[in-house]
Structure 1
């Protein structure tokens, strides 16, 4: 039985402290990126079908834009180092450094031991949304991805078009790996355009209808050579459910842009984290 202590309110009133103050993060050169984006030429395009996924490649120093083109639709995004799939987007550390939702000027960070920026958000047409009265916002790094295992656990079904499954098939198709080989590389996502938060009373993860409309987009600058994977979620705008054959779903467009020659002269891809791991071994 849980007994409320006499000093309960006093304990609850303790002010919070930010775990990872981010004022010392490397400055984001948005002016440089904007100069590089101006006049950039489209060099690639991938249409991600509804309830499906596709992979795409983005060389370092290029831009990639994800757009809503036909209807309100959210997407689950994975990023890997194109040359080493063991380095991948780390949603948990991105959340710790920037917050539960990301927007222009914030970065997607990679997994240990590299822990470096993989991509920087340079444009977000939903940046106006902010945080609503429910605590909801867009482009979250809270959720994992809809997957067949949780769907089976909660609903006792065998749904095969969850974002996890879609991304696994897309990665296998793009790389030539088997599904068994590809699946462990699929990881927690950036929920592009998805509107989410936590309930105030129970602390549960919630979703609500996305504010995205055709013409809205989220755009990144590639800090390293990227392999991307994007699933057009089977929940559509996620106003009711996120693993469904009933929800209205639409494709998403991925476009890659190359800057004009010379604009990024002197720029270098993001360096790996400088921590010397030998120190940790010596302590044992």
Structure 2
């Protein structure tokens, strides 16, 4: 049985073409043993194309490629036809059909799939971080976070953490209670990445009563009393003053609005 060589040519890493080639080779009993593959990544110059086709001719190889730039595709096809080399275009037929259906020209930018994958994994990592360091579970997360949210109970710290995590920010949130000393890590971080969430006592009184009722409890518990809430907010302001961070009033704000305030603040600081 003869040996077969496949040249994998890509203007990015070449993982897509490599996986397709391996999938095809696996359909033959001795495919992976008799078929060798050589990957040529980040091919973005026509002179590289000419060299690769020359090597393919010397080794009697088949070229399998994923090139997003039309001029590069045409150059490779012309070189292969001239040298009598078999080449297989994995990407262009699909891209061209999608272009026709959408009436839109492709971007022709190499590596976009990899960028999307990296973006996805960063988002997942941020979401897992927000869950792990939610509600002050582990103060070590405060030092690792991109954003730290501080506030009394029921100021939307958890949903805000998750919303920001979907924007790829690692967020830790810390509840403040007068009877419990705040973690020392709060005073060790850069105040610029910390945001205190405050709410009017009346609004918080209403929210907490509704919460107790939803849990099947009486709404006159200490947790929902106005004097207790005012005590917590005084404690909150004392801690925030010591940290020196930005305070956001969330009384009449949706989670998305509060998140936009935080993101705008971060963007303005980087200008």
For normalisation by structure 1, the TM-score amounts to 0.21
Higher relative contact order (CA 8 A, sep 6+): 1
Which structure shows the bigger proportion of residues in strand conformation?
Answer: 1
Larger radius of gyration: 2
For normalisation by structure 2, the TM-score amounts to 0.22
Which structure shows the bigger proportion of residues in helix conformation?
Answer: 2
